[in-house]
Each structure stands twice: as structure tokens, then as C-alpha cells.
Structure 1
Amino acid sequence: MKYITYFIKFFYRIRFWLLIAPVIVALLVYWKTNKTPRNYTANCSIYTGIITGVNILSESGITTTSYTQGSMMDNLLNIITSDQTLKQVSLRLYARIMVYGDPNKDNTYVNASNYRYLHDRGASIHHLIDKSSEKDSINEQRTYENLLAYETNDPSNYVYGIYQWNLPYVNRESLQKIDVKRIGNSDVLSISYSSNDPGIVYQTLLILIDEFNKQYQELRFGETNHVIEYFRKELAIIGKDLQNAEDTLTNYRVKKQVINYEEETKAVAALNRDYELQYWQSLNEYNVSDSIKRELEERMQLHSEIVQNNSSFIFHNNKISEIDEKLAIAKYYPDNTISRVPIDSLNQELELHKRALSKALEKMDYLKYSKEGISNASVIEEWLKQVISYKKAEAELKVLNLRKIHMAQKYSHFAPIGSTLTRKERVVNINERKYMAILDALNAALLKQKSIQMNSASLKVMNAPYYPLVSMAASKHKLLTIGAYIAALIFTIFFFLIIEILDHTLHNVFKAEQLTGSKVLGVFTRQLSFAARRYNKTYTTLSTQTLCNSSVTYFKPDQSNIINLISNEPGEGKSYIMEQIAQQFTDRGFDVTQLSWQNEFQTDTQSFIQSLNLEELDDPEKTTLKDRIIIVEYPSLKDAALTANILQNVSLNLQVVDSRRTWKNTDQQLFERTREMCNKTPLFLVLNYTKRDAAEDINGLMPPYNFFRKLLYRLAQLGLTANDKPSRNV
């Protein structure tokens, strides 16, 4: 129980330290941490769907092992925290800060102070920051592309050092503080990031999510995407070649005026066949007519010359030839044919000239009979018929010869076209087959991509990052302050506890009794100052009364009671205590005699001890010896040695100790030797110069008697349920 009381008093003694020291430390921590930047935290979560998402394997009833599932999630964590991903985030974040930042005003992208810090240190790459467009998103993309183009693996390259150097917010050290973890055994990744700039925190997570999705897509679908991209490029190239070949073929057909080569060549062949038949037919008619005409002319002899030299005959004969030629042209060149009315007119004109020619012959009467007197009417008629037929055949042959040249031109035109068209159509056919082959391969790659997508995760942001409005520094600030206060409180307790354990100063009753092994009989306080100095006399009176009351219990009847005041060292306060207890006993009616070595005239202290005879101090005239008290003050044991006779033939031995000084091993040795010499005579300690709290252990509650001190004293004495009010019933 005394230990509990001691610890309660121990805490009471250091109460001011327990109140002031932790408060001072807490205030210092609060002041220091209040100047530190406040941290803002933003969180988001991404659903991966790798384990529980629908895919071909799950639909087929095939399940993956927990090891495979863990490896898949680890791959995602490694992707999102890899240097490749964080480096892209770094450059994109830097570009966004440079484009959207404002040196005079905070915004949702970056604080003005941080923008100025980053902007001023990047003077060498200010020319890469593009703000030419009205749309900041375009400026950001252009700036990012400029940074990528400018970067080289050179330590002197500033863009290369954006991620490598100690540039805050965008370097590796800052971005590696992004906390990414899997929530339990689910498909969800939780991402958290803290920084002293809320805008940078928010924008970093936005860019990280986008870049993570790109990196994941590139790694997961990169090979298939490359194949698809290759096929698409090849398809575009071959498609262009095919279009060029088709355009070349079309232009060639237009240039050569060929719509359907096969049909047109068939038509040309048919025309040539008809031409050949007509030509041989006309030639045959021409030859036949010419032969008959010649034969008839031979029979007619001179008459034919007369006829041929006749102007009218010649006129109409020429007209018939001209009209026959025009009709032949109209017959064999239908494309150039004039309308049907002129053809009919030519036929009518031809008939008119035929009749005119016949009439011209009829007017030549001398031609009706030959020299022999034979009639020539039938011969002339036949000859005229053959002449007309001859002229017709001659005109047709003339026209057919012209058509022969035209047909030759047709053959010359169509002959090279065939081989050229075949060549060009073959090129078109080859390009078309190549185009279809690449198209089939592209479709197969697209199907494979879709298959991979069904068997892979579809990343989806469940909880998008939010712009942090409240910093985490407030709660941390309070926690740090509270923690500092508790730590300082614990440190103070342990510090004073260690001092209390190791300290050899007899500053209180418990410590004095523990170190010396003897009981404390009285305690005198030191002279207090300031507000408590008015209680100095009261404290001395209470201490003296308590010591005298305790001393009386050791007095012996029917003899003088001698009290020895001893100390180990000079200056312990024996003279002061002797005066106080002498005055107290005198006030109580005792006959008090004071003996002090300081009042004698011996040359040294040891002479006072040797010359002292306690028996001579008894006065035979005194009838009541019990009312006589002799108080003897001895020199310090350090300066003189006491004898056993002096210590044993008394009522009480009081060793006065200055509670402010260290109780050394030599002091304990002297005290032990003194106690041995006292034998059965009581030897007690009297503590001098103690604090008021220590004096209350012996003297009880000392003034002032306010409520607070009464409460603390009651708690120190473990009077938890006590009622200290005096009873009214006497």
C-alpha cells in the first residue's frame, strides 16, 4: 500500500512537469507541423474482370487455379507500377501542368506556387510548350509529342531528367508513392495517391488510369494489333494498286473507245465477212457486165463508139455512175448514211437518168439496124442493161475498195487492243486476288482479336478519382500533436521515475526511510517564497509540534529526558531545530536546557564531547525530573566522533539531515555506526529543508486549506470514499 501511496505522491510532486512539459512539446509539434504542407489524398478503383469476368473458358466450364489468378493480378499490379507506365505518366503530367498551369492562381490542375517552381526550372525546354491552339487539349498533346521527340538518353537532356531527377511531383520518387493494391481476393484494384497539391493528385490519377489502360491493351493485344495494322496497311496499298489498275484499264478502254472488246471484234469480223461476200459479188457482177458489154460492143462495132461519143448519152451515163456511187456509199457505210428521203430521191433520179438514156438511144434511128439489115433493138436493150449494171458494179467496187481500207484500219485498231486489254485485265485480276487474300487474313486477325477480348479482362473504372477538397493533414496534425503530448508525458514520467530510482537525495520520508533503513520522526520545510511565504511560520510551528509530540512518547519517567541532535555534516540545521523544539517544549511547560557545542569555549569539537558529563546536568533541587528536558547539539560526525555512552544514556537521538543534499555511502556508513552505538536507545531522522508536499507525509495537510489541495491530499492518502467533514454529534 505504501508503494501505491508513494507513486501517487510521486506523480503529485512532478505534477507541474507532467502538465507543462507535454504541453510545451505538443505546442512545438503543433507549431512545426502546422507549417508543413498539407497532404491531399485521392482514391479510385478499377474492375479488371480477370477472374470473375465472362470469357470463353468460363462459358466452357473451365476454371483457372488460384495460382494463375494470383499471377494475373500480379501482372496487372506490375504493369501499373512499372517504370514504363510511370514515365509516360510523368511526361504527360508535366505537359498538362505546363499547359494548364497559372502562375498567379491555383486551379484544378496545379497550385500556382508549384507551377512557378516547375516552370522556372524548365527554362531550357520552354520552346517545347505549345500554346498556339485555342483548345488546351490540343496544346497538351502537342507539348507531350514535343517532349517525346526532344528526349534522348543523355544526362544533360532536361526531358530525360524530368523522370530521373529530383523534380517534385513528376519524378520517379514521387510517382512511386502511388499505392496500388488488390482488394481482398476480388477483381478490383484500389489506387491511392497523396501529395500536397490537390490538383496534381487528381490529374496524376486520371493520367495513370488512362496510361494503364493503354499499356495493358498494348501488352495484351499488341501482337494481334500489329498484325491487324500490317494487314490494313497492305490492304490499303493493294487496294490502291487495284484501283490504279482498274482506272488504267478504264482509261484505256475510253481512249480506244472499246466498250466490249469481244462483241466489238465479233461485229468487226461479221462486217468483214459481209464485205468479202459483197466485194466478190460486186466484182463478179462487174466482170460479167463488162464481159457482156464488151461482147455486145464488138457486135455493134462502130455504133458503140457513136453512142459513147454522144453527149446526151455521156451525160446521163455519168449521172448514173455518180448516183450509183452515192447509193453504194449509203449501203456500205450505214453510219454515214443520210436520211431515207434523200436515198429515195437518188433512186428516183437514177430511174429518170435510166429512162433518159434509153430515150437518147431511141432517137438514134440509124442504130436500129445493122449494116446487114438485121434489127439491133434487142442488142441495144441488152447492151444498155449491161452498161447500167456495169456502172453500178463499178461504183460498188469503188466504194468497196474504200471500205477495204476502212476494214484494214479496224483490224489495225483492234489487233493490239486485245493483247493490251488481256495484260491489263490480268494485272487487275492479280491485284484483286491479292486484295481478297489480304482481306481474308485481316478478317481472321480481327476474329482472333475478338476471341482474345472475350478471354481477357475488360478494364472499367468503378470509382473514378475525385478532386480532394479536404487535406489529410488536419487529422494527421491532430494525431501528431496528441502523439507528441503522450510521448512527452511518458518520457517525462520515465525520466523522473529513473531519477527518482537512482537519486540518493533524502527529499521525502519514503526515500529517507528506504535509503537509511530508519524511521523519520520529524520534517521541517524550507523557507518558501512568493505567495506561500506567509505560511513559513505556520509550517515551522506544525513541524515542531509534530516532532515534539512524537518525541514525548519516548521520554522516560522520573528522570531528565535528554535529546541528542546529531548530523553527519555541518550546516544540516541542528541549531535551528533545537531552538524550535526548545521553544515548543517551553510553551508546553517543560524545563528546557539547551547545550550546543557552538556555545562552549573548547578549542575543538572533540574536546566538547569529551568534557560533556550528562549526569552533572541533573539538578537535585528539581522535584519533578520528568518535566525537565535537555537538548544537546553535537558537532557533525564528520568533524568529531561520538561515544556510546553519550548516545545510549539519553531518551532520544535525532539525526538531522538536509534533504537537499546527496545521501552518500559515507553518510550511510556513519549512520549505521551511530545506530549500532545507540544500541536500544531510539535513533530517528529529522529531515530539514524539505518541500511542503514532503512535510505533509509527517505533519498532515498544511495550509492553505483550499478544496483542490484537500482533494489531492485525500487522493494521495487513498481516501477515495472518505468524508472529512466533522460530525455535528459531539
Structure 2
Amino acid sequence: MDFIISIIRALFRHRWVIISVTVLISLFAIFYTRHMRGGYDVKATLYTGIVSGYNLESEKRTDWSIIQNSMDNLISIIQAESTLKQVCLRLYARVLIKGDPNKDMDGITASSYRSTYDHVRNSPHGKEILALIDKTSEDKTVANLEKYMKPQKDNYIYGLFYYNHPFYSYNALKNIKVQRRLTSDLLDISYSSGDPGIAYNTVSILMEEFVNEYRRIRYGETDKVIEYFKSELERIGQQLRNEEDDLTKYNVEKRIINYYDETKEVAAINKEFELREQDALFAYNSTRSMLGELERHMDSNAKQVLKNMQFIEKVREASTLTGEISEAEAVPTNQQKNDQSLDASKKRLTQLKQELNSLSDSYVSHKYTKEGTSRTNIIEQWLEQTLAFEKAKAELSVVQDSRRELNERYVFFAPVGTTIKQKERSINFTERNYLTVLQSYNDALLRKKNLEMTSATLKVLNDATYPISANSTNRKQIVIASCVGTFFFLVLLFILIEFIDRTLRDAPRARKVTGFKIVGAIPYSNSSPQSKIYFQAAIQELSNSLLRYFTKRKSPELFIVNLFSTLEDSGQEELGRQLDEFWKSRNLRTRLLVYGEDFQTEDSRYLLAKSVTDFYTPQGEDILIVVYPALIQSNIPTELLLDSNVNLLVSPADRGWKTVDQQLASQFLCQVNKSDVPFRMCLTHTLPNAVEDFTGMLPPYTLLRRLGYRFSQLSLTEKIRSGSFRKRSEQANNDDE
């Protein structure tokens, strides 16, 4: 409760500071906001079509995270620095092209044109910038500005966007607000500016630049992907065609129609010829053995028959025909010609066999050999075996030649097959790669078509409209906020100061900081009549408080008051003189002893004194006021402190209670702790309101003063008695006279 009271008193004490500073800040706010104008709001609505629009890539299930990401991307593109830079350049070009310094033209106000034109004209490169403005084309002007804009500090266009221009800077344009309307496809774009034409054209240009920027971003990446897949498709397609042509050329060179069927046919023929070779070899060996056996059983006549030239020629012709017949039967060529030649050969062979039989019969003289074998049968058998041998020999030769040809075919087909498989594998790999790239290319085309559909759905549902009236300003709110903010800031500041400040200032704070009892407060003394009244009232109150402690005389039969302080220049000498004069005015015999004048603190009589009489001889006084030096300079003997009626610590109210003060006071309390001599504290150099805590209300007794005093004392419901205050006022006036 005491802390709350002290806070209220502190605020009441600084009431004029709080009120004056608050009023001053409020006046400043009123002065600096005198030119404030209400902003012009322009709004537009953009339909995106992302949520409910048709999408070629979408599945049946709606992915809300993708939708939210797409909406966030649209908002980010609208508020992107690159988009706002294009808006800045186009807005700047439009103002200088369509604006007029005397009247509003095409949504461009005359004031915005004048400010823009004067700004660029007064710049160091004004003529150079104005030369970039092409009155016939806004696009050409924007292109010229883009070429001129470079990231340099002294570049006018670069600084126009990155400095703090109210219309064209990035800091101004980034105040464009973009908000999605609930969970719909709609985006609300709003912008506020002090110029209606600037606000209107900014939003209008933003709608155009946003769509263009969105298409540049989305189409740019998609077109690059499509271009890459297209080039890869052409490259792989050309590679595939080259590989296929190379395989065709290789098949033509190697005379390959169908490698796998041909190799199967060769394998089947090889197997057949193996069997025929075995049969031919078996027949060849058997007929050769049979001929040898028959020739061994022949006699001389039979052998002469064999040696006959005619017989030999016919046998040779028969052998030749037999070989031809065997070869024709083994390896057929033309079916019709083969049949005719084979029939002719067989007829000739039959004829030769008959002729040979006739020749052999004419040379045979005996029908049987000595072993009993018929000569006719031997010759016939020999002829048959000879023909069979020739036939087997011819068939074996034919089969062996065919086997050699087949071996050559194997040697031919082995590397050809490996090469064909390699080429087919390469073609297969290239074909699969081609199909993969083709699928990716189709996906990219589908993506582009989907983006075209998405961009087609980006439509301005509500166009920007030119604002007619400005919004109400928040000037009143600014003034009120500055007033209230200043007031509460000062209140909190003084509360904080009240909480941490250790300046003694008044009796309650001194009691809180030091813990000592306060018996009086003495104000500043000056030549004004009112100050003299306050000072006399304070001295009188202090005198009355001290006289209450004069209950018993100390040795030597005196009432003794000790005045001392912790630090120098505390006012104890002045206070002692004022008390001495006041008591003398009341016909009291008093005496003031001041250190350095009436006694020396370095004197041994003082240092070893047991009583005041050790360094002073009484002269019939009733009251003795002893002013001791500051405790930081010299120690006061304990016996002198105990031989007194009251020990009064004097401390200035405008000085803080420091650690050294607390240390000196604690040491002093140790000296008088066990005695019954009262230890009190008196404040000097106080303000008048601190004196009123002891004396009550002091003049002047005006109504405002009475109300202020009541509030400072928290006497909120006290009844004002005008009569008593009138009497006190008259008494004060008499005192003044």
C-alpha cells in the first residue's frame, strides 16, 4: 500500500511534466500530420482456374497440397521483385508518355506527371533519361529503360526502383496485397496510393505483367525441355535409321535373307550328309573288299578279259555313268533336266551292262573254276561290284565335297551371326531409347498444352477501377496514439524511476531507503516571501519535534542536541543556526557549538571527551546545539553521543543514499545501539510538498491548491471546510505582514 501511495504521489508531483510533454508531443503529431491525405484503394480479382479448372495431367483424386502450392506460386510471382520491376518501368513509361502537366489524361493525374517529370529533369542525367522516352510506343520506351538500367549506384532508373520513391520504388510496390478468397480459385489484389492514377495504373499493369511473367516462367522451362527432347529424338532416330541401314547393307553383302532359318537349314543338311557319308563310306569299303575277293578267285582267262581294252573302255564308261547317276541322285539341280539326263544315263548303263556280259561270256573257256566256282558268276559279280564300287566312290566323293562346302558355310555363318546379333542388340537398345525419349517428348507436349490451358484460365474477373474518392486518413488515430503513448510512457518512466531511485527526496522515501525515522524536512531557502514562510514553518515543526525529547537534562544540566551528517555539505551548520535563532526568539537560552570554530576535532580533549564539558565550559545555557563534522571526515566519540537528548542525522533530500552513507550510518548505529538516546533523521533542501508532510498544507490556500493537496494526501472524499481554510489564509496573511 505504501508503495502504491508513493507511486501516486510521484506521479502527482510530476503531473505538470507529464501533461506538458504529452501535450507537446500531441501538438507535434498534429503539426506533422497536417498534410496527410487519405489513400486511394484499387482492387481487382483474378480467376486462376487451378482448383476447378480442367487439367490434362490431373487424376481423379484432388491433391490439395499441390493446389495450395500452385496458389502460393501464383501469389509469389505477383509479389516477386522481377514482376514489380517490370511494373515500375512500365508505370514510369506510361506516366511520362500519357501524362499532361495541366490536366488529367487517360488515368494519369497532372500532379503525378509533374512530380515525375520534375524529378527526372532535375537529376544529373535528366536529358539522357528523357531521350529514352518514345511517345509513340510504350513497349519501345520500356525496352529502352531496360537497356539503360544497370546495377550502379548513380544509375537513375536503378535508383528509381531500389530507393524510396513513393510511386515507383520496390518498397512502395511491395505493399501490393494478394490474398486468396477462402478456398476458391479467386485472388484478390489490392493496392493503396496517395495518387488515384498511380494506384489505378499500378494494378492494371500488374495484371498484364503477371500473366506475361507467369507464361515466361512456365513456358520457358517447358519449351527448353521440349526442345531438348526434340533434338534427342531427332538424333536417336537418325542413329536408329543408320543402324538399320547398316544391318540391311550387311545382309545384302553377305547374301543373308533370314539368318536364323538359313542356319537351321544348313544344320539339317549337315546332319543328312553325315548320315549319307556314313552310308557311302560303308558301301565304298564293302564294294572294295568284295572286288578284291572276287579278283583273287579269278583265273587267267577272267583276268585277260579284264585287261581287254574294249572291255576296259566299256567298264570305264559304265563307271562314269554310275558316278554321274549317283551324283545326280545325291545333289539334284533342275528337276526336269535332271530326270531326263538321269533316265538316259540309266538306259546307257543298262546297255553297257549287257555288252559287258557278252564280252565276258566270249572269253570264258571254262564254266567253273578249280575251286568249283562258276566263272560266269564271278565275272558278273565282279562287274556288279565294280559298278557298285564306282557308284559308292562317286557318292562318297560327292558327299565329301558337300561336307566341305557345308564346313565353309559354317565358317561363313559363325561371324555373320555374331555381327548380326550385335547389330540387332544395338538397334534394339537404340529403339528402346527412342521410344523412351518419344514418351518423354509426348509428356512435355502434354505439359505445355496443360500450361496453355492453365494460362488461358488466368482471367481478370474484376478489372481495376479508377478511384474517385480518397479514404479517410488515420490522422486522428495517430494523434490519439501519440498522446496516449507519450502519457503512458512518461507514467511508466516515472514509476520505474520511483522504483529504482535512491534519492531521499521526502520523508516516506527516506524512511524506505534508509530505514530511519524522520523528524523534519527543511526546504530550500531563498529571498521570496513564500519561501521564508515555508522555511519558518519547517523550522518550527522541527523545533517542536525536538523539544519532545527534552525530558531529562544531560550533564552538565543541559539539553543537548547533536547534529551530524555522513558526507560534507549536508547543511547541518545552517540547520543548527536556524534552530538556535528560533529558540532564542522563543526566549530560550541556547548555545551553538560548531566544529572548527568552537572546538577542534583533532584536539585530544575532543577525541577523549566523556562529556561536552571536556572541551566546552557551560555559561548557563538551557539548550546546547553541537554541530559535529561529517562521519566520513572524523569519528564522534561514543560518550558524546550517549550524553545527549537526541542525535539528529542531517542529510540533503536532493542527494542519493549511497553505499558509503549506509556504511557510515551502520557504524554510527553500532555506537548508539544499546543506549536510550533517540536517533532521528532530518532532511534538508527539500521541496515544499515534502515539508507539507510535517507541517500540513502551506499557503497559498487557493481552491486548486486545496484540491491538489487533498489528492496528494489521498483524501479523496474529504469535505472541504471553507471557513477553516479562510482562517488559515488570514493567519498566513498576518504572518506575511
Does the pair score TM above 0.5? Answer: yes
Partner of 1:467: 467
Spell out, residue by residue over 1:614-644, the C-alpha distance to the aligned partner (whole angstroms, 9 max, x if none).
997596xx9xxxxx54433334444543222
Structure 1: runs of 5+ lacking an equivalent: 132-138, 225-444, 623-627
Alignment of 1:188-207 (within 5 A): 188-207=186-205
Structure 2: runs of 5+ lacking an equivalent: 223-444, 725-737
Partner of 1:186: 184
- Give how far 1:204 is off: 0.8
- Give how far 1:191 is off: 1.7
Verify: 1:548 aligned to 2:543, yes or no.
Answer: yes
Alignment of 1:654-665 (within 5 A): 654-665=648-659
Partner of 1:526: 524
CA distance in 2, matches of 1:507, 1:223: 77
Partner of 1:10: 10
Is the contact made by 2:11 and 2:494 (CA closer than 8 Å) also made in structure 1? no
Partner of 1:42: 41
CA distance in 2, matches of 1:125, 1:201: 24
Partner of 1:431: none
Farther-moved stretch of structure 1 (664-673 vs 4-13): 664-673
Partner of 1:632: 626
Is the contact made by 2:44 and 2:203 (CA closer than 8 Å) also made in structure 1? no
Alignment counterpart, residue 705 of structure 2, candidates 709, 714, 719: 709
Amino acid at match of 1:464: A
Partner of 1:562: 560
Relative to 1, partners in 2 of residues 1:712 and 1:160: Cα closer, same or farther, differing over 3 Å? closer
Verify: 1:681 aligned to 2:677, yes or no.
Answer: yes
TM value normalised by structure 1: 0.55
Partner of 1:80: 78
CA distance in 2, matches of 1:634, 1:451: 99
Partner of 1:595: 592
Amino acid at match of 2:685: Y
Amino acid at match of 2:75: L
Is the contact made by 2:7 and 2:495 (CA closer than 8 Å) also made in structure 1? no
Q: How many residues align?
A: 482
Alignment counterpart, residue 538 of structure 1, candidates 529, 533, 537: 533
Spell out, residue by residue over 1:160-211, the C-alpha distance to the aligned partner (whole angstroms, 9 max, x if none).
9598765944455543442222133333322222445442122111222344
- Three-state SS of the structure 1 residue aligned to 2:522 is strand
> CA-atom RMSD, angstroms?
4.7
CA distance in 2, matches of 1:453, 1:503: 73
- Three-state SS of the structure 2 residue aligned to 1:123 is helix
Spell out, residue by residue over 1:657-696, the C-alpha distance to the aligned partner (whole angstroms, 9 max, x if none).
2223344433333323333333221011111111112222
CA distance in 2, matches of 1:637, 1:162: 69
Amino acid at match of 2:637: T
Identity, % of aligned pairs? Answer: 30
Relative to 1, partners in 2 of residues 1:478 and 1:604: Cα closer, same or farther, differing over 3 Å? same
Partner of 2:643: 649
CA distance in 1, matches of 2:156, 2:531: 79
Partner of 2:306: none
CA distance in 2, matches of 1:525, 1:568: 19
Partner of 1:117: 119
Verify: 1:514 aligned to 2:516, yes or no.
Answer: no
Is the contact made by 2:503 and 2:655 (CA closer than 8 Å) also made in structure 1? yes
Spell out, residue by residue over 1:354-382, the C-alpha distance to the aligned partner (whole angstroms, 9 max, x if none).
xxxxxxxxxxxxxxxxxxxxxxxxxxxxx
Amino acid at match of 1:99: I
Is the contact made by 1:518 and 1:685 (CA closer than 8 Å) also made in structure 2? yes
CA distance in 2, matches of 1:689, 1:155: 69
Relative to 1, partners in 2 of residues 1:565 and 1:204: Cα closer, same or farther, differing over 3 Å? same
CA distance in 2, matches of 1:161, 1:518: 71
Is the contact made by 1:566 and 1:574 (CA closer than 8 Å) also made in structure 2? yes
Is the contact made by 1:572 and 1:656 (CA closer than 8 Å) also made in structure 2? yes
Is the contact made by 1:524 and 1:695 (CA closer than 8 Å) also made in structure 2? yes
CA distance in 1, matches of 2:665, 2:151: 81
Is the contact made by 1:202 and 1:466 (CA closer than 8 Å) also made in structure 2? yes
Is the contact made by 1:205 and 1:465 (CA closer than 8 Å) also made in structure 2? no
- Three-state SS of the structure 2 residue aligned to 1:709 is helix
CA distance in 1, matches of 2:451, 2:512: 87
Amino acid at match of 1:676: C
- Give how far 1:720 is off: 2.7
CA distance in 2, matches of 1:199, 1:718: 60
Is the contact made by 2:552 and 2:645 (CA closer than 8 Å) also made in structure 1? no
Amino acid at match of 1:596: L
- Three-state SS of the structure 1 residue aligned to 2:589 is strand
Is the contact made by 2:215 and 2:455 (CA closer than 8 Å) also made in structure 1? no
Amino acid at match of 1:208: L
Alignment of 1:322-341 (within 5 A): none
Is the contact made by 1:592 and 1:631 (CA closer than 8 Å) also made in structure 2? no
- Three-state SS of the structure 1 residue aligned to 2:20 is helix
CA distance in 1, matches of 2:520, 2:693: 10
- Give how far 1:505 is off: 3.3
- Give how far 1:484 is off: 4.7
Relative to 1, partners in 2 of residues 1:119 and 1:593: Cα closer, same or farther, differing over 3 Å? closer
Alignment counterpart, residue 138 of structure 2, candidates 138, 143, 148: 143
- Give how far 1:56 is off: 6.4
- Three-state SS of the structure 2 residue aligned to 1:613 is helix
Alignment of 1:148-187 (within 5 A): 148=143, 152=147, 155=150, 168=165, 169-170=167-168, 172=170, 174-187=172-185
TM value normalised by structure 2: 0.55
CA distance in 2, matches of 1:22, 1:39: 26
- Three-state SS of the structure 2 residue aligned to 1:513 is helix
